[in-house]
Amino acid sequence: MKLSRLALAVALLPLAAHADSFEVQPLVVTSGRQAEPIEQTTAATTVFTRPDIERLQVRSVPELLNRVPGISIVQNGGRGSLTSVFMRGANANQTLVLIDGVRLNAAASGLARLEFLSPEQIERVEVVRGPRSALYGADAIGGVIQIFTRRGEAGLQPRLSLSAGTQQTFERSLGISGGNEQTRFDLGASLDESAGFDRSEDSRGRDGDHDGMRRKALNLSVEHRFHERLKGGFNLLDQRGDTEYDDLFSFDPGNPSERFSLSSVAGHLEAQLLDAWSSRVEIGHVEDKSDNRDDFNASNNFAFNTYRDSASWLNTLTLGEAHQLLLGADWYEDRLTSSTAFSRNERWNQAAFAQHRFQGDGFATELGLRHDDNEQFGSESTLNAALTLNLSQQLDLLLSYGEGFHAPTFNDLYFPTSAFYGGNPDLAPERSKTYEVQLRGEHLNTLWSLAAYRTDVKNLITVVSDPVTFFSQPQNVSQARLQGLELSLERNLLGWQAVLAAGWVDPRDRESGHTLPRRAKHSLNLDLDRQFGNFAAGLTWQAVSSRYDDPANTREMAGYGLLGLRGSWQMNKELQWQVKIDNLLDKGYSLATYSRPNDAFFNSVTRYGFQEEGRSAMLSLTWTPAI
């Protein structure tokens, strides 16, 4: 795959034509846990707004995240299947995911089930690349992804959308948003159904059928200003349904499916106590429920439900024109119920943190420190520091250092001991140190950024097997080095809006020298969009290099390139038609593999790949009547 040629061609786009200057960049809150212009953030940050989601016509959160430099997505068979997000080469459970400020990562596995989230309920997505444990604590080694549910605007605006597509896919959504100067609200619901396709290459027995998905979603947000110095609100998001998958490990396959429920509730109260002191209290509750059932194979029947309550107190102090201080405290408690009895099923974490910022003439600094106290693994302190140099009006140089850690999951620590596997309650957190250099600028009417980083991770948790007894247990044994480059470009080109994201990452096990599995070393995504009066057209090209599917680097999976087209027609002020074709060239590719026994005694196995979706199309009609 000629990824390097494509990257070079698109990198030269800024030299090809004149374009208008960019609009003012949006405010973001994830990088520093407070609202700030994106150009002032010290972490590399990508933002997707509601107009972006609608313009790109994305059908899943992983599809949106594929456009972020340095992110590698692995799915076990298309939309709705188990999804892992590898940010800057870190493990999938080393990236923290938030919904409206509430931690989403499940306590059992450490993963956030992003495949279950409906884009219809999302207002904005902020992706912060690089460690943020000094602000958020555990799990933010690779970075932080924060998803905000839809918000209301002044007035009253109902909406209705109907979509139909290949694989007997039907999507419906209904919502209304509105408000006045004091109160804003948004209420929406959606139902998505698809007969799907066969997620695996092996069509033995019952695995030859199509694997469908059904998802219901509901969101509600209310914000109210009680006084010019006091405001508050709450947000609710609920996603539930079921998804089918293939029985991967049985000689006589069953017909398993997963019934899922993912919900979060977040509330906040913010007060301007003094001219120089604002205070914000946040509370949250999240539930991640998974019930797997198979009428033909009882070994596929299991359930894991995790619950988390959380609270935060944030205080922002303005100390003169140049100094700002953020003081905060966090608390959360995890609980687990499952069909398998764990030795422990709950734990709490409490933390305090502080971050100072200085904005001078020509330079700025940031220094933060956080201390976590966890019921299971004890105390952990993390530090971050950054220096921003304004080399010119249009060019900034950023130097940063950040520490991170990942807390062992309930599965790592307390999974019930059997003859062949057991958890390890003596595990220590995985720890990281990251060094990063960024250049950001706007030249030739092109907004661009370049980041180079290196992350050293110690105490990597690896499952170790005894060669005599075959007993396996997670241990802190490995070290990893994650280093790479990220490039993003954005500009208007001959009337087209062009957005390029490219990433080069080398995630390596320091002891074996092998590349960490399932991470693509090179990736590139290009979006081109243009408005033609009431019509719009767009194109997406994604190129991903090969990757290894195993730690020993013996199984290499081929890279791939995907082409997608989209268009829309604003029929009148109230009606809009949209059409989208994904994987236009019907490229067959896999992101992961699995082994299946050829007989009931495991005398031999055959390796198969998960199949990703081929060419697909979707036609949508959106009605936004004026009231």
Q: Are 433 and 453 in contact (CB under 8 A)?
A: no
Alpha helix ranges (H) inside 320-449: 410-414
Rounded-to-integer distance, Cα 42 and Cα 366, Å: 8
Q: Tell whether the model's pLDDT for residue 156 goes beyond 90.
A: yes
Report the pLDDT averaged over residues 545-568.
94
pLDDT tens figures, 219-248: 999 999 999 999 999 999 999 999 998 877
Domains of the chain: 3-623 (2.40.170.20)
Query: Rounded to two decimals, what is the model's pTM?
Result: 0.93
CA distance 171 to 190: 7
- CA dist 224 to 151, 152, 180, 238, 254, Å? 12, 11, 9, 22, 51
Of the candidates 304, 310, 366, the one whose C-alpha atom is nearest the C-alpha of residue 334 is 310
Length of the chain (residues)? 627
pLDDT computed for residue 541 by the predictor: 98
Q: What is the pLDDT of residue 390?
A: 97
Quick check: 72 and 83 in contact, CB under 8 A? no
Q: Return the pLDDT at 605.
A: 77
Residue (of 478, 520, 552) closest to 85 by Cα position:
520
606 pLDDT higher than 90: no
CA distances from 5 to 2, 10, 71, 516 (A): 6, 9, 20, 26
| Residue appearing with tokens 């398993």 | 256
Confidence category of residue 22, pLDDT binned at 50, 70, 90: very low
Calculate what percentage of the chain has a pLDDT beyond 90.
79
- Report pLDDT digits (tens) over 561-592: 999 999 999 999 999 999 999 999 999 999 99
Whether pLDDT at 300 is above 90: no
pLDDT category, 9, cuts 50, 70, 90? Answer: very low
Q: Please give the Cα distance from 256 to 207 (Å, whole number).
A: 10
- What pLDDT, in 10s, does the model give residues 258-299? 999 999 999 999 999 999 999 999 999 999 999 999 888 887
Contact 418, 148 (CB under 8 A): no
Kind of pairing between the strands at 430-443 and 395-406? antiparallel
Which of these, 64, 300, 202, 247, lies nearest to 611 by C-alpha position?
A: 202
Q: Is the pLDDT of residue 5 over 60?
A: no
Cβ atoms of residues 31 and 398 within 8 Å: no
Tokens of 584: 């236009």
Q: pLDDT band for position 463 (50/70/90)?
A: confident
